[in-house]
């Protein structure tokens, strides 16, 4: 009996210990949530709650200042499907993004590589290219409007003096998006360049030395075999942030073209602004916002996912 009893006596002890451990871990978990609460509250009130409100509003016919409103289910989305302005805005936004993203990324990469090779003038170039980032786009839109003005702008004067017809970039339905995209690129290049410069600085010099010894000393080989692959993670980041920024194009449209001519520069944010703050149709504007959010998030996630797998090492 003693032989059997011996192992059974200490048995309650581990059981008690288990209970104590369970209690302790529950206390720890509760304390953990307590510590996380301030951050959670902030995230909910600043980020999640507004989004939830927008999503809810999109199911209503709420007009700004109206006393009565009703749930209309998917009514706003149904209206959107038949709204030519929405489709035009969506298409224009995509075209704008399709020009601005490759344009500003490639241009920034080229500039960054050139600036990176400068020793003494590097800082100077960095500041010059970064200047547009520090200006407000509204003010700069006014400047661009003037510069490209077909009557009084310096570009037009230059063209006229060469005997060429003056271009009315913002008045020509075929040029207006390209014109806006140029301003977008102009504004983004400096920021992207700084990101690429940071990426370039982080490439170990040893890799270029090894490439030299291995025979990859042609500028093309150095770029393809070392620089470009090593910039992979930076490029993903730049492309994703640039896409999001480009999707939010608004200032230039609002100040320079107001969606014209012939609606050829209507973009999503501008349509949203008109519906919400000119026509006070908050419900519809909220629905547009939801579409905008979903598109941007989907695009960013897709890019990050696909590109990240390619550049992973």
Q: CA end-to-end span of the chain, whole Å?
A: 64
Short-list 110, 96, 137, CA closest to 244:
96
Q: Smallest distance, Å, CB 192 to another protein?
A: 21
Half-sphere exposure of 58 (CA within 13 A, CB side): 21
Q: Given the complex with another protein, which of 95 and 311 has the nearer CB atom?
A: 311
Near another protein by CB under 8 A: residue from 221, 237, 264, 280? 221
Q: Given the complex with another protein, which of 225 and 264 has the nearer CB atom?
A: 225
CA-to-CA separations, 98 to 122, 184, 239, 298, in angstroms, rounded: 30, 12, 11, 16
Q: Given the complex with another protein, which of 128 and 202 has the nearer CB atom?
A: 202
**Contact 90/268 with Cβ under 8 angstroms?**
yes
Q: Given the complex with another protein, which of 94 and 237 has the nearer CB atom?
A: 237
- What is the footprint of another protein within residues 222-251 (CB under 8 A)? 225-226, 229-230, 232
- The Cα 152–Cα 278 span in angstroms is 31
Q: Given the complex with another protein, which of 227 and 252 has the nearer CB atom?
A: 227
What secondary structure letter does DSSP report for 118? -
- What is the footprint of another protein within residues 180-219 (CB under 8 A)? 204, 206-207, 209-210, 212-218
Size, binding site for another protein by CB under 8 A: 21
Q: Smallest distance, Å, CB 120 to another protein?
A: 13
Neighbours of 16 (CB within 10 A): 10
Q: Which residues bind another protein (CB under 8 A)?
A: 204, 206-207, 209-210, 212-218, 220-221, 225-226, 229-230, 232, 311, 313
């Amino acid at each position: 009996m003693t032989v059997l009893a011996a192992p059974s006596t200490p048995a309650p002890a581990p059981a008690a210990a288990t209970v104590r451990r369970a209690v302790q871990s529950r206390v720890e978990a509760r304390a953990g949530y307590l510590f996380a609460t301030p951050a959670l509250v902030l995230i909910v009130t600043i980020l999640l709650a507004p989004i939830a409100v927008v999503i809810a509003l999109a199911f209503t016919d709420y007009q700004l200042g109206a006393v009565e409103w009703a749930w209309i289910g998917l009514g706003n989305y149904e209206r959107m499907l038949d709204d030519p302005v929405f489709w035009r805005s969506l298409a224009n936004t995509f075209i704008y993004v399709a020009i601005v993203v490759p344009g500003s990324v490639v241009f920034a990469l080229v500039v960054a590589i050139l600036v990176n090779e400068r020793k003494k003038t590097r800082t100077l170039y960095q500041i010059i290219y970064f200047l547009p980032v520090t200006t407000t786009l509204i003010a700069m839109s006014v400047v661009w409007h003037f510069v490209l003005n077909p009557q009084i702008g310096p570009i037009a004067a230059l063209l006229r003096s060469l005997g060429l017809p003056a271009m009315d970039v913002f008045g020509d339905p075929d040029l207006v998006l390209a014109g806006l995209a140029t301003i977008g690129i102009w504004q983004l290049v400096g920021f992207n360049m700084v990101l690429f410069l940071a990426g370039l600085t982080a490439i170990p010099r040893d890799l270029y030395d090894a490439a030299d010894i291995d025979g990859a000393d042609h500028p093309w080989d150095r770029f393809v075999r070392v620089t470009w692959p090593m910039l992979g993670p930076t490029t993903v980041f730049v492309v994703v942030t640039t896409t999001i920024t480009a999707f939010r194009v608004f200032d230039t449209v609002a100040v320079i073209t107001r969606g014209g001519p012939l609606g050829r520069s209507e973009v999503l944010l501008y349509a949203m602004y008109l519906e919400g703050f000119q026509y006070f149709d908050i419900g519809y504007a909220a629905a547009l916002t939801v579409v905008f959010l979903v598109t941007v998030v989907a695009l960013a996630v897709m890019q990050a996912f696909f590109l990240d797998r390619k550049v992973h090492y």
